[in-house]
Each structure stands twice: as C-alpha cells, then as structure tokens.
Amino acid sequence: MNRIALAHLFVTQELIASKLSFSFLALLLCLIFFTNGSAQNGATTATLAGVVRDAAGASVSGATVTLRNLATNQTRQTESAADGTYRLSALPVGVYEVRAEAEGFARYTNPQVTVELGRAQVLDITLQPASLSAEVTVNDRPPALDVSQQLSAIHSARSGRPAIQRANDRRADWIAGSDALGQRIHFWRIASAQQPDLN
C-alpha cells in the first residue's frame, strides 16, 4: 500500500507541477498578447524627422520647419539644430504640408507628406539660395497644360491684314537732300506740305 500511496503522491505532484507550468505559460502568453495589443491600440501618433541642408549639402541650423495638417489645419513648428536635424513627434496621423524657411534661402514647400501610425517618417529638406528663386515647391506631378490659353494668344497676335502690309505702315516717308554746296544734309517728309528751312 505504501507503494500505491507513494505512486499516487508522485503522480499528483507531477500533475500539479505540469498544471502550474501550463497555467504560468498561458498567463505569460496572455500578458504578452494583451500588452502588445494595447500598446498598438494606444499608438495614435507618428514622428517626422530629417535634416535641413543647403544646395551644397551643408547643414542649415536655425531653419524653421512648419507642418500644417491638411485635415484639421493645425500647425506644429520647430527649428533645426546646429547639425541641421529637426524632429516633430506626437503628430496625429494624416497628411501634412511641410514648409521650411531660413534667412538667405528661398522657402521650401512640400504640399503632401503622409505620416503613418507609429512610424518615424524621414523627410530631408534641401533649401535653395534666395537669389535663385523666391519659393521652391515640390509636386509629385506637373500642373496640367491649358492649351486654350496658348491658342488664344496665337489668334490675338494676328490681324486682318498680311504682315507685309502692316510693315509698310511703319516705313519712314522721308526724302534725303542737301544744300547747293553739299555741306548739309536735310530730310523732308513726303506726306507733309512743309519743308525744313535750309538756313
């Protein structure tokens, strides 16, 4: 009987140990699953970061970087550090217009930058010297060509008469002449009845 009692005690202890390890493992998996899920569900913001440089590739410090949320029209602003880096965190997810300005440089504009949930989006900015242009705008696609404006400009340049006749309207109707000694040259206009005084 002792053997049966000992065997029963041994089996019971192993069952308890395996149940505890199974329970512990199940609890651990639940904690990992729910902690990860709640962290993802709680993340509602994103980050935009990058480096502001000039056309030669040197970093620009003190540049003002402004983001405007296109859906809410809210703005966020920061300045680039001494090494040209900037960072805007805790941004609501969405589409933003990004502007950058610095003294001596043209304004940089990127009309649509999408920041995504829980991601650190990188946007490096290159500023052009102010003397080259007043503003640099980056577009994904070129503007549509309006052919009607081009055609109306061509039609308005034409007139009712051929170009040769229009050129004749501009010719000078003058006749050159000189006095009897050939020392002075005078010009007379054909259409006018008066002639210049030779004295």
Considering the domain boundaries, does residue 178 fall inside one? Answer: no
Domain that holds residue 122: 45-137
Considering the domain boundaries, does residue 97 fall inside one? Answer: yes
Considering the domain boundaries, does residue 182 fall inside one? Answer: no
- CATH number of the domain residue 99 falls in: 2.60.40.1120
**Per-residue pLDDT at 119:** 86
Strand 64-69, strand 75-79: pairing: antiparallel
Considering the domain boundaries, does residue 124 fall inside one? Answer: yes
pTM to 2 decimal places = 0.48
Residue 138 has pLDDT above 60, yes or no: yes
**Per-residue pLDDT at 67:** 96
* Structure confidence at residue 64 as a pLDDT band (50, 70, 90): very high
Considering the domain boundaries, does residue 74 fall inside one? Answer: yes
Domain tally for the chain?
1
